[in-house]
Structure 1
Amino acid sequence: IDVCTHNVVVVQYRDEGYLVLDGLLSPEECDALRDRMSEITEQMDVPEHCRTQFSTDHDEQLKKQGNADYFITSGDKIRFFFEKGVFDDKGEFIVPKEHSLNKIGHALHAYEPLFKAVTHSPKVQVMTEPSSAKVCESLGLANFLLKEQGSMKCIYIYIIMVFSITFFGTVGGAVLIHGEVVHRSAANTSDASRHVYTFHIMESQNTIWSPENWLQPTEELPFPSLYT
């Protein structure tokens, strides 16, 4: 990529708060991630007390998931969060498992080799300053430097793993969102899945991670350096 194009996309990212990049992963790499996720989903054994549905409403989530302990303590684990209406009154699935999930989080980047390889790939590393970036969480480019000087030094990276008319970009592409941009994903009411692997990268140099953040590093899983 030439210097002029590089400067244009960096300015766009800083001004608009997001950037769409095609071709971060190949279709084959996306297939491999989806296949592994299908295996994880098929093998999942969900404890009865965790068979609750995920909600983005804070108060509702606290009520449904026992003061949110299942969610709050998931930062160093791989746990399952479900859509509404996927269990009967006995906690049994009433839809296929692969259609029941809202998301799986938050440590795929640490414990699943395929997702770890994507997260720490050179194509992701090149967007940051060496040795100063850390991966905060995951739920699943080249020649772009997007180091931020703002008050929140964080990049959200969403990798598109399946075609959807609701997404920007193409399969294998990525949407980068600035850490200061408030963003949300509305409920998927279509018949098509919206498979995305997302992870967050923070600047660690001269940065203090707020103890008020719900996600905290643990002894079992400190935030790993991106350059590992």
Structure 2
Amino acid sequence: MNYETLKSKFEKDGYVVINNFFDENDVEKLKNAGLKLTQNVPNEAKTVFKTSQNNQEISSYFMESCDKIGYFYEKDALDENGDLLVDQSIALNKVGHALHRLEPTFEAYTYNDKVSNICRALGLIRPTVVQSMYIYKNPGIGGEVVAHQDSTFLHTEPDSLVGFWIALDDSTIENGCLWVIPGTHKNDVHQKLVCDPKNKSRNQTIFQGTFPDYEQSAFVPVPVKKSGLVIIHGRIIHKSDHNKSQLSRHAYTFHVYDEASSQYSDKNWLQTKIGFKSLYL
């Protein structure tokens, strides 16, 4: 796919799949780095990752992950006392949100010429990385992610958010691949998750706006072979289902916005102290 075609398809559909974005050796390095993270989980990290569109209190551990490497468990991995119900190697939902700055392997593959070239093709003038995550979606335990827009959580004005989602396993319908509603990036951001201005500690968030009910028949699956990249517009409606298979669906994902043409909201939950870093140095 040439760059002109890529931009045209992205503007039309709100997402693009690029097969064989990284080679097999690159994928192995990324996946090994993700597996290594499961072996070094801090004792205090017993936070369950939740996908919800209800107002909620954010733990200090979650908030501090803006500039750190935070570990977040699947809801079915821990009992009511916080004890593991499954082996530690498959218990995590994700690790984030500063992998791209603090872990050398993920930093190398985020600030990468291939990624920079995609940003140039999309017309981003100063693409700047705001957060990153390693997502596990392990066999049997990997939970669903409800329909949402990424720009709800990482709002910029005007909206220039772009997600990079790199498959480190074959991503299939059976193991919880992405599903999207093509063209929905042309709509507004339905909701914005903002820090409650009445809460001085900034650990209480509220949703502004209403997320509509979309017909399930409108979603189309986006299966991707290992090493493939899915580029996701910040406003496109997407989700993923529970992993009911016996195969893992690991992925590395990060988000960029165009610092030259848009402003990152100071009301977003994710606020950095170490600073955002551009892909163009």
Q: Deviations over 1:35-80 (max 9, x none)?
A: 1222221121231xx4232110254863xxxx43222221111011
| Distance across 2 between alignment mates of 1:40 and 1:98 | 9
Change (3 A) 1:60 1:46: farther
SS in 1 for 2:256: strand
Query: Are 1:108 and 2:93 matched, yes or no?
Result: no
- Structure 2, unpaired ranges of 5+: 135-156, 178-222
CA distance, structure 2, for counterparts of residue 206 and residue 8 of structure 1: 23
The answer on whether the counterparts of 2:68 and 2:97 sit within 8 Å (CA) in structure 1 is yes
Structure 1: 5+ residue stretches without partners:
141-149
Establish whether residue 138 from structure 1 lines up as the match of residue 132 from structure 2: yes
Q: Which string of whole-angstrom CA distances, capped at 9 and with x for unpartnered residues, describes residues 151-190 of structure 1? A: 3112100000012323422111100011221323333233
Match of residue 144 from structure 1: none
Is residue 40 of structure 1 aligned with residue 31 of structure 2?
Answer: no
The aligned length equals: 208
Instruction: Indicate the residue corresponding to 1:211 in structure 2.
Output: 266
The AA in structure 2 aligned to 1:184 is K
Contact 1:131 1:226 (8 Å CA) reproduced = no
User: Which amino acid letter does the alignment assign opposite residue 59 of structure 2?
Assistant: A
Whether 1:57 aligns to 2:52 is yes
For the 8 Å contact 1:131–1:225, the answer to whether it is kept is no
Maintained 8 Å contact 1:139/1:198: yes
Structure 1 residue 90, shift from structure 2 partner: 3.5
Relative contact order, CA 8 A, sep 6+: which one is greater? 2
Query: Shift of residue 128 of structure 1?
Result: 2.4
Change beyond 3 A, Cα 1:174–1:68: same
Q: What residue is the counterpart of 2:209 in the other structure?
A: none
- The answer to whether the aligner puts 1:190 opposite 2:187 as a matched pair is no
Structure whose residues are more often strand by fraction: 2
- 1:98 deviates by 1.8
Q: How many angstroms apart in 1 are the aligned matches of 2:35 and 2:4? A: 40
Match of 1:120 among 111, 114, 128: 111
Higher normalized helix content (fraction of residues): 1
- Write the deviation string for residues 101-133 of structure 1: whole angstroms up to 9, x where unpaired: 111010110011111110011000112248611
Give the aligned partner of residue 219 of structure 2: none
Report the secondary structure of 2:26's partner residue. Answer: helix
Q: Alpha carbon RMSD of aligned pairs, Å?
A: 2.1
